[in-house]
Structures are given as C-alpha cells and as structure tokens.
Amino acid sequence: MSINTDVKLFASLGNGVIGSGWVARALAYGTDVVAWARTQETERNLRQRVANVWPALQKQGLADGASQSRLHFAGTIDECVKHADFIQESVPEDIDLKNELHIRMASSARPEVIIASSTSGLLPSEFYFGVAHPQRCVVGHPFNPVYLLPLVEVVGGEHTSTAAVNAAMQIYCALGMRPLQVRKEVPGFIADRLLEALWREALHLVNDGVATTGEIDDAIRFGAGLRWSFMGTFLTYTLAGGDAGMRHFMAQFGPALRLPWTHLQAPELTGALIDAVVDGTTEQLGTHSIAAMERYRDDCLMAVMSAIAKTKIQHGILS
C-alpha cells in the first residue's frame, strides 16, 4: 500500500499547547487545517492560541497562502479525519485514551493516510494496538513551541512500515521541521530521556539546598545551553579534547564517570520540594505573565536560530 505524502488538509485532534502549536505551524506553511472541536469553547480557545502566536510566525516568515482563515473545525472524529491527508493526534498521555482514539481515527481515515501521535514517551506498539492499517501509524513527537522549534522525533511501532516512517519524515520536512528517526522503541525516545536526566539532577540540587531554581537555570543559559544551541554534547566534548579529539577527552574525563556526581533517580517529590520549586520559579517570573514570557521566549528563539543560520553560511556548514 502506498503512503500519501501530498498534504493539502492537515487534521489535528487534541488542541492544547502542543496541538495548537501543530495547527499554527501547518497554517504558517500554507496548509488547510481541520481541528476536532467538540464545543464552541474549544474552537474559541484554539483560534485565540493561534492568533497569539501569529505575530511570531509573521516575523519568521509565512509561506504563500498562509492564513488563519484556513483553519476549519469538525465536531466529530469521523468528520475530522475522513478527508484529511495527514493526521496528528495530541491528546493527553493516557494510553487507554490514545488507543481508543486511534482505533476510531483509523476506522474513518483513508488507509494510505499517516496517523501520527505527539506522545512524548508512550510506545507506539502499545497504543496503536488493534487499529486498522497499523503500518501507517507513527509517533511524531515535537517540542514546545511546536510552531518554532524544528525537531520532531519519528518513531515506528512493531507493525509500522519503513515507507510510512520515510513518508512522515518527508511531510515534516515540508512543514519546515528537522525530523529525527528514533531507531528503536524506547520509553522517552531520545531528547526527553536526556532532558529527564537533567531535570532529575536539577530537582536534587534544589532539594539538597545546593542552588535555587534561578541559579540552576543560569548555569544552563550562560554556559552549556549556549553551546547546545548550535553544537550538541558529543561535538562539544570532541572539541574539549583538543587536537586529539574525543579519544583524548574520554581518556582524560572518562574516569570521572565513576565518581558519585549524579543521583539519576529522582528525589521524592515532597511538599517542601514542590514549594521550593514553585517559589523559585515564581520569583523568576517576577511581574511577567506566562503569555508575556512566551512572547519573550519566541523572540529569543528566532534570534538565536537566525544568528546560527547566518553563521553556518559563513563557515560553509550545511547541517
């Protein structure tokens, strides 16, 4: 069975922070979008979220034909998916909910249309169980804000075809994304496993009174975070090894891996720890609202990505 890659109508089911980000990205790339909305409040909230981020997308640059008016709504799952050329599900991380929803979507969607899930860690073979045409089912895990950040992790399940994985990656590329194929089904995939390790250690540092939430964030944003934005961990450490590269780095710093620097297991989420984290982040926000900080984040992301893109051109770096 051939897999469709010509996406004229993008279907979105589950339209919270992640789902609305998918909708905004698809609209910005000149695609018609149909969203599942059971109530007028759902429709109103989604339109408001898209309108709120549209200035950032305009600043970044819209594709020909891009318009918020190309967003349409369907009151039922069947109506939402039956004419869609690509389906992206972004409902909460409940495996039973996802399984039920995917069974219903798969029974109504055309068999050649990819059904993708935004899950951040559930295994596709588990929640695609029992769906029609499972060979076209994938995970397409994005990162917030979806309308700006290009990374999307693509994961196939036990029955997913290679053609479907390749087609999904082609479709995401057409939406301006940087798809990364996850070679095996593992909980948390790649990026979230790395983020989770950092998050656990950060909670330990707060719990042990080593640092506040703001100090920990400063340790990232004025240090490793700046390097990570253009040169990931492995290449960064390769340069740290000098002319001898990674082999010298591993010889010099590898023994430190046996030292008890990290806890890895998360600390118990006591009321005191939760209060410390909440109080710290409240202080970091200051008088700024979440919406204002989202706009600040988006402007910073675009500035960093633009600066990196220009510098890559100067140095002849294409990837």
Phi-psi region of 39 (alpha: psi -120 to 50; beta: other; left: phi over 0): beta
Residue type, 190: I
Token pair recorded at residue 29: 């790339």
- Report domain extents, the chain: 9-181, 191-286
Looking at residue 313, what is its pLDDT?
Answer: 92
Please name which of 89, 185, 184 lies closest in space to residue 140, comparing C-alpha atoms.
89
Domains 9-181 and 191-286 share a fold: no
In angstroms, rounded to a whole number, what is the distance separating the alpha carbons of residues 145 and 20?
A: 9
Looking at residue 248, what is its pLDDT?
Answer: 81
In angstroms, rounded to a whole number, what is the distance separating the alpha carbons of residues 78 and 76?
A: 5
Residue type, 15: N
Tokens 């036990």, located at residue? 158
Strands (E), the chain: 9-13, 32-36, 71-74, 86-89, 114-117, 137-142, 151-156, 178-181
Domain 191-286 has CATH 3.20.20.220: no
In a 10 Å sphere around its CB, with 0-12 CB exposed, 13-18 middle and 19+ buried, how is residue 268 labelled?
Answer: exposed
pTM for this predicted structure: 0.91
Please enumerate in sequence order all residues whose Cβ is within 8 A of that of 22, keeping only pairs 6 or more positions apart, or say none. 10, 12, 88, 90, 118, 142, 146
Looking at residue 267, what is its pLDDT?
Answer: 81
In angstroms, rounded to a whole number, what is the distance separating the alpha carbons of residues 180 and 14?
A: 23
Strands (E), 54-136: 71-74, 86-89, 114-117
Q: Report, at the CATH architecture level, how domain 9-181 is classified.
A: 3-Layer(aba) Sandwich (3.40)
Looking at residue 318, what is its pLDDT?
Answer: 82
In angstroms, rounded to a whole number, what is the distance separating the alpha carbons of residues 305 and 141?
A: 20
Q: Render each residue's pLDDT in the chain as its tens digit; 319 residues.
A: 689 999 999 999 999 999 999 999 999 999 999 999 999 999 999 999 999 999 999 999 999 999 999 999 999 999 999 999 999 999 999 999 999 999 999 999 999 999 999 999 899 999 898 999 999 999 999 999 999 999 999 999 999 999 999 999 999 999 999 999 999 999 999 999 999 999 999 999 999 999 999 999 999 999 999 989 988 888 888 888 888 888 887 888 888 877 777 777 878 989 999 899 889 999 988 999 888 888 899 999 999 999 999 999 999 988 7
* CA distances (Å), origin 229, targets 13, 56, 61, 224, 308: 31, 19, 21, 9, 8
Please enumerate in sequence order all residues whose Cβ is within 8 A of that of 120, keeping only pairs 6 or more positions apart, or say none. 93, 141, 188, 189, 192
